[in-house]
Amino acid sequence: MNLKDMTNNPYLLLTPGPLSTTETVKLAMMKDWCTWDDDYNNIVQDVRKRLVSLATKSVEKYSAVLMQGSGTFSVESVIGTVLPKDGKLLVVANGVYGHRISKISKTLGINTVVLASGEVEAIDLNRLTAALENDPEITHVAIVHCETTTGMLNPIDKVGQIVKRYNRIFIVDAMSSFGGVELDIDDLQIDYIISSANKCIEGVPGFGFAIVKTEEFDKCQQNARSVSLDLYDQWKTMEEQNGKWRFTSPTHVVRAFAQALKELEVEGGIKNRAARYKNNQKILSKGMKKLGLEPILNNELQSPIITSFYYPDSEYFKFSTFYLKLKEKGFVIYPGKVSDLDTFRIGNIGDVHQQDIEALLQAIEESRYWLNPVLEK
């Protein structure tokens, strides 16, 4: 079997990550690297530089630090490192991943308050303003940019304005949006933004990263509540030892990510990738409505990353059956996560293009067994 055959996938992943990657990203992992060697560490340094350039025009104000593990590891490393011992975190939560931040914070013993809203409702900015106005002990505010519970894109521009009006530190979990939505973290007044290798940059799982405002991060040396997730110590080591990680790094994953970053540049950068994702989502939503499957969010709240749909109004519909029928046709989708609604989710990110969405819609049309369940018997 040749290398090309080894990289072929039996199905397309229509999920918020891990996601379908290009053949060349997968092939980049077919070489071994030494974690101490300059050839590898120079790749790490180039990755860090590229990430900052993707995040902002004001590159001199920010630095990138990579962290082993899933995206949640990076979220926990930020929360556990940047909050001082006497700090207090306000989490704006309207989905599973916002509430995960609060769980992390509380588990670490951090004074935490949650500003919760419904999973399909826009954030109430007036409540946020009142919370910061009335509680001067709050030092940091955290929010998820794209809440993939529903696919909602939260208004981090407006949230950031309020946070900075009250002179608080602003943390954004952009796990599923960074690289797929145009933004400038300096313009948005973001102090810390967090994402992962296996999302919109279109790499593979194994590490996450944070892009930090250096002036603010320099104050965090004594804060860490963990050794392995001490983001400050990880950053200082990378800064002072030419990209070296403190502990064993996922070398193959880093190399794949470096390739993915190059492919993002070839595609035309975030602007063009965002346009592809938006087009995917538009075609998906329009096509699903024609098939009688309605998205749960209004257009103004919907992200281009992933879309949640109501179950069809049929006693014969079972997600497990629907899932397997689509998988047989070469597509893998996601179950729903909304607390009190029956939903399923379809992602638009990764190496996914218009023809893939059109093929998915055709597969769904052929798989609507619930319209005539007698034919299934």
pLDDT in tens, 5-50: 445 678 899 998 899 999 999 999 999 999 989 999 999 999 999 9
Least confident interval from 42-46, 364-368, 372-376: 372-376
325 membership: H or E segment, kind and range: helix 319-328
Flag whether the pTM goes above 0.85: yes
Kindly state whether residues 283 and 213 are assigned to the same domain.
Answer: no
Per-residue pLDDT, 370: 85
pLDDT above 70 (res 1): no
* Mean of per-residue pLDDT scores for the chain: 94
* Structural domains counted in the chain: 2
Kindly state whether residues 104 and 175 are assigned to the same domain.
Answer: yes
pLDDT band at 376 (very low <50, low <70, confident <90, very high): low
Please, are residues 350 and 341 in contact by the beta-carbon 8 Å criterion? no
Per-residue pLDDT, 121: 87
Kindly state whether residues 296 and 354 are assigned to the same domain.
Answer: yes
| Alpha-carbon radius of gyration of the chain | 21
- CATH number of the domain that residue 363 is part of: 3.90.1150.10
Q: Is 176 among the domain residues?
A: yes
Kindly state whether residues 108 and 174 are assigned to the same domain.
Answer: yes
Kindly state whether residues 222 and 328 are assigned to the same domain.
Answer: no
Model pLDDT for residues 317-353, shown as the tens digit of each residue? 999 999 999 999 999 999 988 878 899 999 999 999 9
Among 250, 265, 280, the domain boundary falls at 265
371 phi, psi to nearest 5 deg: -75, -30
Kindly state whether residues 322 and 219 are assigned to the same domain.
Answer: no
Kindly state whether residues 85 and 226 are assigned to the same domain.
Answer: yes
Model pLDDT for residues 248-264, shown as the tens digit of each residue? 999 999 999 999 999 99
Kindly state whether residues 258 and 361 are assigned to the same domain.
Answer: no
- For residues 205-218, give the mean pLDDT: 98
Kindly state whether residues 237 and 318 are assigned to the same domain.
Answer: no
156 phi, psi to nearest 5 deg: -65, -20
Q: Is 216 among the domain residues?
A: yes
Per-residue pLDDT, 6: 46
Per-residue pLDDT, 9: 74
pLDDT above 70 (res 375): no
- CATH number of the domain that residue 74 is part of: 3.40.640.10
pLDDT above 70 (res 119): yes
Per-residue pLDDT, 247: 97
Q: Is 236 among the domain residues?
A: yes
Q: Is 10 among the domain residues?
A: no
pLDDT band at 2 (very low <50, low <70, confident <90, very high): very low
Among 244, 265, 286, the domain boundary falls at 265
User: Of all residues in the chain, what percent carry a pLDDT higher than 90?
Assistant: 90
Strands 152-153 and 146-147: antiparallel
pLDDT band at 372 (very low <50, low <70, confident <90, very high): confident
Kindly state whether residues 145 and 278 are assigned to the same domain.
Answer: no
Kindly state whether residues 312 and 280 are assigned to the same domain.
Answer: yes
User: Could you write out the DSSP letters of every residue in 216-282?
Assistant: HHTT-TT--S-STT-HHHHHHHHHHTTT--SS---HHHHHHHHHHHHHHHHHTHHHHHHHHHHHHHH
Q: Is 2 among the domain residues?
A: no
Q: Is 12 among the domain residues?
A: no
Among 225, 242, 265, the domain boundary falls at 265
191 phi, psi to nearest 5 deg: -90, -35
Model pLDDT for residues 72-118, shown as the tens digit of each residue? 999 999 999 999 999 999 999 999 999 999 999 999 999 999 999 98
Kindly state whether residues 280 and 135 are assigned to the same domain.
Answer: no
Per-residue pLDDT, 17: 83
162 membership: H or E segment, kind and range: helix 156-165
Q: Is 243 among the domain residues?
A: yes
Domain coverage including residue 187: 23-265
Model pLDDT for residues 141-175, shown as the tens digit of each residue? 999 999 998 999 999 999 999 999 999 999 999 99
Q: Is 6 among the domain residues?
A: no
